[in-house]
Structure 1
């Protein structure tokens, strides 16, 4: 799990990028800002991952899976 809650841009994208270097098939990301959700979603797509997210109590859980 990648927890990027409380981080300002561009830190969420940087942390996700570091995690993706492990080349796992899927990841779960915790975020607390819609701006971060959109930025991580765009980055994940460019890295070949499908991003799906859901809101839970004002926070977001994003699942990334390799395409």
Structure 2
């Protein structure tokens, strides 16, 4: 789980990139509080073999789930 709340872009994407490079997880949960980060992480995921889904968890807070494509 990556808690990127409080960080503005590009830091949430950088945090996800580092985790993917380090451990190549099958699934990864990411918390963000920046709508721009949702778009950018979703794009990064798509370009790197992951499918991303997001859901709101509060006012301006989102949880993303990245799942490695088979």
Q: TM class, shorter-chain normalised?
A: over 0.9
Q: Which runs of 5+ in 1 are unaligned?
A: none
Aligned position for 1:63? 65
- TM-score (normalised: structure 2): 0.91
Compute the RMSD of aligned alpha carbons.
0.7
- TM-score (normalised: structure 1): 0.95
Aligned position for 1:38? 39
Q: Which runs of 5+ in 2 are unaligned?
A: none
Deviation above 2 Å: which 4+ runs of structure 1?
A: none
Structure 1: distance between partners of 2:9 and 2:45: 15
The answer to whether the 8 Å contact 2:53/2:64 transfers is yes
Deviations 1:22-58 (CA, angstroms, capped at 9, x unpaired): 1110000000011110001001111110000100112
Number of residue pairs matched? Answer: 67
Aligned position for 2:4? 4
Shift of 1:20: 0.6
